[in-house]
Structure 1
Amino acid sequence: MAKAQIILPALFALGALALSSVFIVDEREKVLVLQFGQVKQEISEPGLGFKVPFIQDVVRYDDRILGLPTPPAEITPLDDRRLVVDAFARWRIVNLVDFREAVGSGGVDTAQMRLQNILSNAIREVLGAVPSNAVLSEDRTALMNRIRDIARREANSLGVDVIDVRLTRTDLPEQNLEATFARMRAEREREAADERARGGEAAQRVRAAADRAVVELTSEARKTAEVVRGEADAQRNAIYAQAFGKDPEFFAFTRSLTAYERALREGNSSIVMQPDSAFFNYLNDANGRAAPAAP
C-alpha cells in the first residue's frame, strides 16, 4: 500500500512531465523552440514536436500570407500637386530566426508597425519622383512594382518577404477638391462658350447666305414678273390699239365706261359737276352716242 501511494504520484508526475514536453505544430504555422531566450530549434513542418519541460519555450508564428493596410498619407509628386495615397501589402515570414531577432517578443504586431514605416517611405520615394498624372493613371503597375521591390529589399532584414503592394486610393486632399472642381468647371464652361460662339458664327454665315439667296431669287422673280407683265401690257395695248383703231367711236365709248366704273364705285367719294358736262355724254344720249362737242 505504501509503495502504491508513492508510485501513483510519481507516474502522474512523469505523465505530466511527458505531456509538457510534447507540442503539436499546425500546418498554418511555424514554431521556434527557445531556451532562455535563445533559439534552439526551428520547426516548419506540421506534426509533433518535443522540448525540454520548464527550460524551453515554444513560440508560434503564422505561416500564412498576411495583409497590411497602410494609413492614408499625403505625398507631393514631381509637379508639386499633393495627393492622398494609401496602399495594401501582402507579406509572409520566410526566416524565423531573423524575424525573432528583428522583432523580439513583439511578434507580428511589431513587424506590422515596422513594415508600415518601410512601405510609407517606399511610397514617398517612388511617387515623389513622378508627376501626379502618372499616379492618377489607371495603369500604375510599374509604380506598384517599384514600391514592392524597395519594400522587399528593406524588409529583408526582418526575415519577411513583401509579396505584393497595391495602391488602393490616390485622391486629392479635401481642401484641394473644390479648387480642382472649380477649375474643371471653368474649363468646361469656356469650352462650351467656344462651341456656342462657333455655332453662332456658323449659323450667322448660313443665315446670311440664305438671306442673300432670298434677295437674289426675289429680285430675279420680280425681274421676270416685270418682263412678263411688260410683254403682256404691250400685247394688250397692241390688241387695244388694233381694236380701237378700227372704230374710234367704240374706243371713246369704252373709255367712258371705264371712267364711269372708276368714278361711281361704292364709297364715300363725291363728284360735283354740271349735268350737261361732257363726262355724261353717253348717259344723256338715248342711243348711247356722244353728243357733239360744243363750239
Structure 2
Amino acid sequence: MENASESQSTQAAPLWTKVVRIGLGISIFLLLVAYPCYVQVSEGTSVVVTRFGKPTRQLMEPGAYFKLPWPVEDARIVDLRQHVFNTPYTATLTHDRRNVVLSTFVVWNVANPLLFLQSAGSVEAISAKIDGMVTAAKNTRMGGYDLSALVSTDSAQLQTERIEQQLLQDVQQDALDKFGIQIRQIGINRIAYESSNVAAVLAQMKAEREAAAKQLRALGEKDANAIRDDAVVRSEEILRDGRLEAGRIRANAEQRVSEIYAQAHLQDPEFYRYWRSLETLKRSLGSDSTIILRTNEGFMDLLTTPPPVPQTAAPSSPQTASEGRTVLLPFGSSPSNGEMQP
C-alpha cells in the first residue's frame, strides 16, 4: 500500500510542475505582447502616436495609454518644458550707422507636439530655426533705432525693453504657426562693439555726462542766485529797519540834547556860552596840535576873562581864591564843578 501511494505522489508532482511552467510561460508571453502596447505619458511631456510613420494622435494628458505594438504603431515622446536658447553673437547696423554686436536669449516650449515633430523633430534642429528668425528680426528692428537706444547714461533714452518686446512680436506668431513652439521671452544678453566704434561710444557717453553736468550746474546756479537775491532783500529790509530805528533813536537823543542845552541856557546864559566855547576849543585843538594865537582874540579870551561867578555859588576858600576861580555848572539838581585858571 505504501509503495502505491508513493508512486501516485511521484506521478502528481511532475504534472503540477508542468502546469506551473506552462502558466508562467503564457504570462511571460502575454507580458511581452502587451508591453509594446503600453504607453506612459509623464508630467511635462507629450506622446505622438504614429502608425506606419504617419501621425495619428497626440497624447497630452499624463497617464497610461495603449497602442498597437511596433512596427504597426510607434510612440515618440516630446518634452513640453521650457527651454532657453542663447543665440550666438551677431552684428547688426543701427539707424545712425553704428555696427553693434548683440547676443540674445530665447525662452520657448513646445505648444503643438505634432507640428514640432513634423517641422523640426529635435531641440537641436529647432534651435537653428530660432536663431535664424531672431537674427532677421534684430536686423530689421535695430535699423530703426540709434545706438543711444541701447547704450546711454540717460535712462530716458534707453529703449531696450521696447526692442525686446518688438522682437518677441516679430517671431512669436511665425514660430507657433510654422514650428509648433511658443516663444515666451526674448532678451538681450550682452552688447559688444567693434574696435572702430568704441571711441564713438565713449565720446557719446562723455557728451551725455557733460550735458548732465551742465544741467546740474545750471540748476545749482539758479538756486544760488535765488538764495543771493533773498539774502539781499532780507539784508535791505534789516538795514532799512535799522536805519529807521537809528533815526528814531538819534531824533530822540537830539531832542533830549536840545532840551538840556535849552535848560542850561535858560539857567545861566553867560556860563552856557563859556561852556560851549570850551567844547569848541577842545574839538579844535587835539592832543598833538600846536597853534599860536593872540590871547585877546576869538575864543582865546576864555583864558584871560572867565565868566563871573553866579550869585548862587558858594564862597570859595582863601587858597582857591588866590589861585583862581571856581565856577558851578548848574545842570538840573546835580551841579558839577569846573575850574579855570587864567
Tell me if TM exceeds 0.5: yes
Distance 1:96 1:187, change over 3 A: closer
User: d(CA) in 2 for partners of 1:18 and 1:126?
Assistant: 56
Q: 1:46-83: CA deviations, max 9, x gaps?
A: 00021222222221111122222212221111110111
Does 1:133 find its partner at 2:148? yes
Does 1:240 find its partner at 2:292? yes
What corresponds to 1:173 in structure 2?
Answer: 194
Does 1:153 find its partner at 2:207? no
Number of equivalenced pairs? 206
SS of corresponding position for 2:173? helix
TM-score by length of 2: 0.52
SS of corresponding position for 1:27? coil
The offset of 1:134, in angstroms, is: 2.2
TM-score by length of 1: 0.59
Which of 130, 145, 155 matches 1:115?
130
Does 1:35 find its partner at 2:56? no
User: d(CA) in 1 for partners of 2:105 and 2:181?
Assistant: 16
Rg: which structure is higher? 2
Report 1:196-207 matches (<5 A): none
What corresponds to 2:40 in structure 1?
Answer: 24
What corresponds to 1:98 in structure 2?
Answer: 115
SS of corresponding position for 2:134? helix
Distance 1:54 1:95, change over 3 A: same
Computed over aligned residues only, the root mean square deviation of the Cα atoms, in angstroms, reads: 3.5
Q: 1:96-136: CA deviations, max 9, x gaps?
A: 221111013xx122111111111111111111222222233
Give me the identity figure in percent. Answer: 23
Q: 1:211-247: CA deviations, max 9, x gaps?
A: xxxxxxxxxxxxxxxxxxxx979x946x22548xxxx
SS of corresponding position for 2:96? coil
Distance 1:188 1:128, change over 3 A: closer
SS of corresponding position for 1:34? strand
Does 1:10 find its partner at 2:26? yes
Amino acid at match of 1:122: A
Distance 1:124 1:191, change over 3 A: closer
Q: 1:151-192: CA deviations, max 9, x gaps?
A: 113212111121221223234334532454367569979999
- 1:82 and 1:173 in contact (8 A); partners too: yes
Distance 1:134 1:186, change over 3 A: closer
User: d(CA) in 2 for partners of 1:158 and 1:74?
Assistant: 26
Distance 1:232 1:185, change over 3 A: farther
The offset of 1:40, in angstroms, is: 2.0
What corresponds to 2:260 in structure 1?
Answer: none
SS of corresponding position for 1:144? helix
Distance 1:187 1:63, change over 3 A: closer
- 1:73 and 1:86 in contact (8 A); partners too: yes
What corresponds to 1:163 in structure 2?
Answer: 184
SS of corresponding position for 1:240? coil
- 1:67 and 1:88 in contact (8 A); partners too: yes
Which of 50, 55, 62 matches 1:46?
62
Amino acid at match of 1:129: G
- 1:127 and 1:135 in contact (8 A); partners too: no
Higher relative contact order (CA closer than 8 Å, sequence separation 6+): 1
Amino acid at match of 2:43: E
- 1:66 and 1:91 in contact (8 A); partners too: yes
